[in-house]
Structure 1
């Protein structure tokens, strides 16, 4: 399912964007869910528990403007598709720091909006969510790969650190960490950067020789001997994402 977040502090403008988006979804027969936010803080709070494939953002908003919001989204998710919709054309150059699909000027022209939505959706990765089943000490948990920050191996168990702050511990595993995490590593967004760590590259906010800094300030180390290979693989990943945009 395609998840769309629309944020605009002006009620009439918000409803206009929601209505246009709903019309497009209906005409294209898409499986999509729209969540609307009247304040950027509400969207930031929601993003602690949920990610979206597409964000449609006003720019002139209280407390956190759309440019700042777009930059936060880009730090949290390098693949999110962002559309700015605003009455203010002068912020266009600044807006491109967040690598948006388009910068639309209100009042929104319907066909231009539809064309932008079509482009954004064509680039969004919203195929059936990939999941992973974790056998814990007392049950089985099925989690979406997109909800994982990183995996950490220790004492023959794997600790899954999730985007919402929850940690899920597997029961004792009888294979190597690399074998256990192999199904996850088939996903292009994941990389084993250390004997005991697998990181979700979508959630990387900063990269250094010491490691990856993720959402919430959590750090995942990079094995010294693996650094050149990890660096090159991460640069290839970023270049691939840029080409897709």
Structure 2
């Protein structure tokens, strides 16, 4: 399902944008979850553990500007789509530091917003919504693959760390770690960097010769024997996602 975040410190502007988006979704028979944020700090806290496909951001907001917010979002997610909607045209050049898909001037023209939404949605890969079922000791958990930060093999079980910090531990597996994880590796965002670890490259914040630092500060080792392959795969991934 498409997930959309709107951030604007003016309640009426939030309401109007939400109404327009809802109308667009109804017209195009699309399902989406829309979340409103009246302060950039609330959105910044939310993205620590939640993904959105599309952000619509005001520029002039208290404490954190929409430009700073867009840069922070882009640090976490190179693929998400960002639309700016503001009364201030003079920030357009600075705004492109966050690689927005468009810069709309308020009052928003509905047709222009609709055209922008069509273009933005065409660039969103919803295939990342495939799931992976984990059998734990006492239940089944269905995980969105895009929510997985990394996977670790330990004591014949697999530990899935999610972007919200939760850890899901599988029951003992009979097959090898590499065989067990094959369905996840169909997603090109995942990379094996060590015999016991796979990482979601979208969630990497720092790459060093011996480790990845992931979103939230988790450090994952890189095998010395695999370093060259890991480096090339990761750099190719970054190059393919340049915006």
Q: TM (normalized to structure 1)? A: 0.93
Task: Note the alpha carbon deviations across 1:90-143, whole angstroms, 9 max, x for none.
Answer: 322322222211122222222221111111100112247211111112221111
Q: Which residue of 2 aligns with 1:24?
A: 24
**Structure 2: runs of 5+ lacking an equivalent:** none
Supply the distance in 2 between the matched residues of 1:210 and 1:237 (Cα, whole angstroms).
18
After TM superposition, the runs of 4+ consecutive aligned structure 1 residues lying more than 6 A away are none
Query: Map of 1:148-187 to 2, 5 A cutoff?
Result: 148-187=148-187
Contact 2:48 2:216 in 1 (8 A): no
Supply the distance in 2 between the matched residues of 1:205 and 1:114 (Cα, whole angstroms).
33
Give the superposition deviation at 1:207. 2.1
Supply the distance in 2 between the matched residues of 1:172 and 1:166 (Cα, whole angstroms).
19
Q: Which residue of 1 aligns with 2:194?
A: 194
Q: Which residue of 1 aligns with 2:41?
A: 41
Q: Which residue of 2 aligns with 1:77?
A: 77
Contact 2:5 2:34 in 1 (8 A): yes
SS state at 1:216 partner: coil
Q: Which residue of 1 aligns with 2:104?
A: 104
Task: Note the alpha carbon deviations across 1:154-208, whole angstroms, 9 max, x for none.
Answer: 2211111111111111111122211111111111111111111100112122222
Q: Which residue of 1 aligns with 2:239?
A: 239
> How many pairs are equivalent?
243
Supply the distance in 1 between the matched residues of 2:150 and 2:28 (Cα, whole angstroms).
36
Supply the distance in 1 between the matched residues of 2:138 and 2:25 (Cα, whole angstroms).
41
CA 1:180/1:115 → structure 2, altered by over 3 Å: closer, same or farther?
A: same
Q: TM (normalized to structure 2)? A: 0.94
Supply the distance in 2 between the matched residues of 1:26 and 1:142 (Cα, whole angstroms).
28
Supply the distance in 2 between the matched residues of 1:116 and 1:207 (Cα, whole angstroms).
34
Give the superposition deviation at 1:151. 0.5
CA 1:140/1:17 → structure 2, altered by over 3 Å: closer, same or farther?
A: same
Compare 46-55 and 141-150 and name the one that shifted more: 46-55
Supply the distance in 1 between the matched residues of 2:195 and 2:67 (Cα, whole angstroms).
38
SS state at 2:146 partner: helix
Give the superposition deviation at 1:25. 1.2
